[in-house]
Amino acid sequence: MTSCQTQYLLMLLLSVGVSAVEVQRPRGVPLSKRQFYEEGKPFTCLDGSRTIPFDRVNDDYCDCKDGSDEPGTAACPNGSFHCTNSGFRPGFIPSSRINDGICDCCDTTDEYNSGAACQNTCRELGRKERESLQKMAEITKEGFLLKQQLIQEAKRGLEEKKAKQADIQIGKKDLEAKVEALRTVKETAEQPEKEAKECHLKAWEEQKAVIQMEKDKAKMAEVLSELDDDADGSVSVAELLSHSELDPDSDGSFTEAEAQGLLGGVDKVDSVAFESVWNNIKDKYTSEQANTETPAEVETPGEEVREPPSDNDSEQYPEEDIPEEEEEDDDEEDEEEDQDDGDYKQSPPPTQTPDKKEDDDEGTMPPFDQETQNLIDAAQKARDAFDEAERALREVDDQVKNLEKEISFDFGPNAEFAYLYSQCYELSTSEYIYRLCPFNRMSQKPKFGGSETNLGSWGHWAGPEDNIYSLMKYEHGTGCWQGPNRSTTIKLTCGKETVVTSVSEPSRCEYLMEFISPAICQEPPSLDAALHGHEEL
């Protein structure tokens, strides 16, 4: 209930007792303009355009351009008629409605010469309105009392938050000192851990290098044996030419000169000199066994090997009888052999973390010795303690930020809206459930399944300058299809409860919510204040 409504209520209550006192003035003239209509004196049009004798006022002929000489007749198209409506609310109607057979004024004064059967309903209308206004006044009074309680609660809450903030700040300083101390402990424990682990890894890398070297020597001896066709303990140009994959330029022609170049410019090398040759050919070398085995020659145990049928044997060996499964098995076996040979072609750098293949070839890295493990355990314990303290410090930082936000938030002139913070209110319609979380967001969810739609996040107070806290604005919601982002305006009205009463969409993607709260209630004016400045009863 606004102060204007309260003033009008008191005016109505008093008008019942003084309505019998009627100030004489021409028909259709409000009391506020009585001084311009003095009987016996010339009348000057209210727009100052001309002056006429007073007997031409309400003579059913329009003399003034503004229609002010005919306030009680329908002569002027732009005139207006004042309904006194004693016992109810005074008002104005267009002059065209005077004596038109329809009662517009509740006191029937607009139909003084039409013969219309009108009844004066002003007192009944005034009674009903007084009852309604009295009820609103009671709600306003109770709401304002609740508002005072909310203000006191907000004041206590603010003091508690400030006290809590001070305590947290003290605890935060202690926690910061603890984190720094634990950081030092952690870094001190990690240094010997790092050195011990590096030492362990270095030993393991050296061990892997020895293993790889032994494997390489074994493979070199195996290849030497394969290449040494005459078993004289050396490899010649002719023996090297049997492996065309070693052709240096891979042009399809492996010449003696090229083979001699691989042997270091000589015709034959012994087992000692072969080591340098091996380093040049091991990336290309393919086992003789892999070269000589063909799919047709690989036998599956227990089965007879058959040659592929010729064109003349098509009747004897139909196409569908060719044993395809044997060929697939042979291909898989060849792939496995190629993979085994590839193990000797390239190995990962010794500093690389061993992967599964290296684990198969060189074994897994041995566990840490007890002394190193003790250093690792001590360092991990220090890390866990530091992480826990740092996590606690982050939680305290979040608490401080949330408290600072609440303390600095604009909850109204006296923080009367603070009780709405962290609360949510819902309104269920036939299709949707609307959810308002003041100072946070507004949303809409289909009642029978579907995802939630954001109708806007808290923006700012948006009421007029003289009552800025009467409207809330929520902005930047979910975008409409080929339209703007959704937004919501919350209109606050005075009441004893805190409840959402209605939601509408006056414009596309722009929502309006009616929200009742005692926090918006204003103090009802006193009787003297309501009557002050009132002129017309």
Segment 246-272, tens digit of pLDDT:
878 888 788 878 777 878 888 888 878
State residue 60 phi and psi, 5-degree precision: 65, 25
Span 62-68, mean pLDDT? 95
- The residues spanned by each domain of the chain are 3-120, 214-362, 418-520
Q: Report pLDDT for 521.
A: 93
Name, in order, each residue with C-beta under 8 angstroms of 349's C-beta and a sequence gap of 6 or more: none
pLDDT at 478 over 80: yes
pLDDT at 22 over 80: no
Q: Which residue has the higher pLDDT, 365 or 321?
A: 365
Name, in order, each residue with C-beta under 8 angstroms of 293's C-beta and a sequence gap of 6 or more: 334, 337
Q: Report pLDDT for 272.
A: 81
- Range from 109-118, 140-149, 344-353, 458-467 carrying the lowest mean pLDDT: 344-353
Q: Is the pTM of this model over 0.75?
A: no
Q: Report pLDDT for 13.
A: 46
Among 214, 228, 188, 115, smallest CA distance to 379 is for 188
**pLDDT band at 408, cuts 50/70/90?**
confident
Q: Report pLDDT for 362.
A: 61
Q: Report pLDDT for 354.
A: 40
Span 36-45, mean pLDDT? 93
Cβ contact 457:477 at 8 Å: yes
pLDDT at 49 over 80: yes
pLDDT at 31 over 50: yes
Q: Report pLDDT for 233.
A: 81
pLDDT at 102 over 60: yes
Question: Tokens 């190193």 appear where?
Answer: 372
- List residues bridging with 135 in a β-sheet: none
pLDDT at 507 over 60: yes
Q: Report pLDDT for 361.
A: 56
pLDDT at 189 over 70: yes
Structure tokens at 382: 């220090």
Span 309-337, mean pLDDT? 44
Segment 355-381, tens digit of pLDDT:
444 444 567 889 999 999 999 999 999
Span 62-74, mean pLDDT? 95
From first CA to last CA, the distance across the chain in angstroms is: 21
Q: Report pLDDT for 34.
A: 92
Distance separating alpha carbons of residues 488 and 435, to the nearest angstrom: 12
**pLDDT band at 410, cuts 50/70/90?**
very high
Q: Report pLDDT for 526.
A: 57
State residue 510 phi and psi, 5-degree precision: -120, 115
Interhelix angle 122-227/370-408, rounded to 10 degrees, is 160
Distance separating alpha carbons of residues 251 and 247, to the nearest angstrom: 7
The percent of residues above 90 in pLDDT, for the chain, comes to: 51
Segment 149-159, tens digit of pLDDT:
999 999 999 99
Classify domain 418-520 at the CATH superfamily level: Mannose-6-phosphate receptor binding domain (2.70.130.10)
